[in-house]
Amino acid sequence: MADSPLLRTSTRLDYDAALERVMGLANFERSTQDPEHWSFHLERMGLLMERLANPHLAVPAIHVAGTKGKGSTVAMITSALTAQGYKVGLYTSPHLHRTVERIRIGLDPIAPEDFAALVDDMWPTVESVGETGPYGDVTFFEMLTAMAFVWFERVGADLQVVEVGLGGRLDATNVVAPLICAITHISLDHVSTLGNSIAAIAGEKAGIIKRGVPVVVAPQPAAALEVFSKVATEKGAPLTDVSSGRSWRMLESDMSGQSFELAGPNGKRMLRIPLLGAHQLDNASTAVTVLESLAESGVTLSDDSIARGLENVKWPARMHFASRNGRQVVADGAHNPHSAMRLVEAVRDHVEFRRVFLVFGALRGHSLAGMLSELKQLAPEVLVVRSRDPRSLASDEVAEEARRQGLPVVSVSDDVGDSTRSALERAEAGDLIIGTGSLTVAAEVIEEMEGVEPELYPYLDRQAAKMG
């Protein structure tokens, strides 16, 4: 046991070197070509877990899939469990500014030096899987997922909240044996990979449902709920539909958050969250239902901890509000037509504004036309951008679609920060600037507004070429 690489307490790598090593793995998140879904499998991840002594099974898990609201929902669950006094591991993707954001204890990211130590400790095992196993090299996402499991075991986490990366059935996180599963709202997204219908996408998400394990399902389109109900029945998994027997009522809201009443089988709760939009109340309802189910299964959890956890949750780039000299700025990671529709609703519900300036860019594989069709309801002047993400659509292509839909394009740029500054110059007091179209656009708007220094990955030009 003394020879185990996981028992080292020092590292030969600094953070930048560790990051470059991890980023050198095959990274489908940044590939300019869609991965073939038939090529995804869990065998390599299973082998990696076996050679790491199965850290994914060491900490009880809450596993969450869905199209929209996964991040906000897992953040609320984590915040409430932390308020109760638990040490909670949280694994999410992608990151906004720095890779360490993906692996957290509570809502605090892993320290860069601990990240580097993990990479150094685990690397011999990662290499052995590629060199001696029959499944090829470990990918970037598999590596980060494994690092999270190892870290949560190493620090003695009481619980781990794990967000699915893509789909569910074949996602690297789907090696966990959870206490409870949850599926947030389903809409069309990643259609080239997951399927071009709600039922097909729901089938992939339903892959996280485990035999006999309770599953909580957020309000869903009928086609998705039908799939989830069928799979849950087949697996003997008790299913709780949040939309059945539960309802929320908005009480008041301002730019700092919203208060609401949540009514359900356990009575009424008066709650507040600092996240804006009616969709966040659906997410909060889902999170509370998961927490109530955990309490029913024997996890100690008070009503006060649930309330404090929701009230103190922090999850940026979701209706992220800032202002400068009377100009209002909202950065939101909406990246498909449904989330763009909910963004429009939230803006109308919570923000008073005169004109709208839209700093907008999109990633390949998402519905550019559908998003712009929703956002045009705000009659914006559009500043088209291309973010740093290599999957970003060319700004000229985005501008062409915006003009085709009759939207006035006032600038075209490959620099989100520059376009944000330009929007601030064009706007007057009372005007609204919205940065959206992808999480990367929202992140870069926040970086410009708040002076956040992002990670840059110059070595990924080589990796992008390798991935195609």
Residue 282 and residue 154 share a domain: yes
In a domain, 459, yes or no: no
In a domain, 329, yes or no: yes
Q: In this predicted model, what pLDDT tens digit does every residue of 413-451 receive, in sequence order?
A: 999 999 999 999 999 999 999 999 999 999 999 999 999
Residue 129 and residue 74 share a domain: yes
Mean pLDDT along residues 352-368: 94
356-360 vs 381-385, strand pairing mode: parallel
Residue 222 and residue 348 share a domain: no
In a domain, 461, yes or no: no
pLDDT of residue 10: 52
Residue 338 and residue 195 share a domain: no
In a domain, 130, yes or no: yes
Mean pLDDT along residues 296-315: 97
Structure tokens at 290: 């998961």
pLDDT of residue 2: 36
Count CA within 13 A, CB hemisphere, residue 362. Answer: 26
pLDDT of residue 93: 96
Can you give the CATH number for the domain in which 340 is found?
3.90.190.20
Residue at which a domain ends, from 311, 333, 355: 311
Q: pTM of the predicted model, to two decimals? A: 0.92
Residue 208 and residue 83 share a domain: yes
Can you give the CATH number for the domain in which 35 is found?
3.40.1190.10
In a domain, 38, yes or no: yes
Residue 238 and residue 145 share a domain: yes
In a domain, 462, yes or no: no
In a domain, 468, yes or no: no
Considering its fold, how many domains does the chain have in total? Answer: 2
pLDDT of residue 383: 98
Enclosing domain of residue 255: 5-311
In a domain, 456, yes or no: no
Average pLDDT across the chain, whole number: 92
Q: Where are the beta strands (DSSP E) in 246-351?
A: 247-254, 257-264, 267-273, 320-324, 327-331
Residue 32 and residue 62 share a domain: yes
Q: In this predicted model, what pLDDT tens digit does every residue of 213-242 receive, in sequence order?
A: 999 999 999 999 999 999 999 999 999 999
Residue at which a domain ends, from 276, 311, 346: 311
Give dist(CA 196, CA 193) in Å, integer.
9
356-360 vs 432-436, strand pairing mode: parallel
